[in-house]
Amino acid sequence: MKNILIIHTGGTISMEENTSTGEVNTTSEHPLSEATKHLKHIANITDEAAFHVPSPHMQPRHMLQLGQLIHERFTEKKFDGIVVTHGTDTLEETAYFLDLFLQTRKPVIVTGAMRSANEIGADGLYNLITAVRVASSDEAHEKGTLVVMNDEIHTAKSVTKTSTSNVATFQSPQYGPIGITTKQEVFFHHKITYREAYPVQQLSKNVVLLKVYAGMDGSIIDSLLDSRVDGLVIEALGQGNVPPSMIGSLTAAVEAGVPVLVVSRCYQGFVQPTYAYEGGGKHLEDIGLIFANGLNGPKARIKLMLALEMTNNRAEIISMFQ
């Protein structure tokens, strides 16, 4: 059997519901601490806690700490794969960070739960078992960091949380899962064609994500420039368009040397410099904004943070997002 390490970080999968009030909170002991008895027929299990935080408390420094721990464990011991349990609110951001940071051919699987351990229909233990099965699969090698939830296998780049409470919340809009699990088998039906790595040693850059809305002006951007922001990600309208009242501030950001990425607030499709009117995508390209395809806003922010630790060269940054 394979040797699998489970690293716990916190989140709903590590919480229990107060049966009197219905509130969900952390517990003194991980409710899945005895789950290894359900896994002993799948793999040789070792588990440890990296930290214990609700997923809204997750910060980039936690992600870096987790990535460094995974790297150390793969280096020190003969683990065949690693499973990370994580809260779902920021799970996709941590998974994508790990996908960019780690340089390993071995499987790294991130999973979580939408229902706490003692709720009716709790999904945490089942997701953990499924994640261990995927981490034990030879086919999971060389696919980067994967997210396994609800019998589906998703890439860290494409997956996103689509519902606040549904157990089928994690989806990959436009692309779908790259594999599925059954009670007996793990099936992959897509291949990973390209991977990239950013082996940073620190995360020191302040990158801000802004969602564009009708009538938005540039006042927020002006304030951010005054605070010396290192990078901006704009979740623009449609194919990559903004109100004309934002143009002056966006131009000032580019002239100040701040890289500004454009993604769409739509969850499907691509941004591209199509419209030539004021504030249209072609106009944004002309003033120096960088179009980042295939990423949502939170993931574009993660990638820009990593990119800025590697280089300040504009041409190199553009090439990272093409």
89 a known binding residue? yes
Cβ–Cβ < 8 Å for 283, 236: no
13 and 125 Cβ atoms separated by less than 8 Å: no
* Token pair in block for residue 14: 């590590």
Q: Which two tokens stand for residue 82?
A: 């690693």
In angstroms, rounded to a whole number, what is the distance separating the alpha carbons of residues 202 and 108? 21
Indicate the helix (H) or strand (E) that contains 157: none
Does the annotation count 274 as an active-site position?
A: no
36 noted as active-site residue: no
User: Terminus-to-terminus CA distance in the chain, angstroms?
Assistant: 41
Cα(86)–Cα(113) distance, rounded to whole angstroms?
A: 8
Residue of 88, 90, 155, 160 marked catalytic? 88
With b for 16 or more beta-carbon neighbours within 10 A and e for fewer, the 236-273 pattern comes to: bbbbbbbbeebbebbbebbeeebbbbbbbebeeeebeb
**CA–CA separation, 57 and 87 (whole Å):** 10
Strand partners of residue 209: 233
In contact, 110 and 66? CB cutoff 8 Å? no
What are the residues facing 235 on neighbouring strands?
A: 211, 263
Residues annotated in a binding site for substrate: 55, 88-89
Residues annotated in a binding site: 55, 88-89
Catalytic site positions: 12, 88
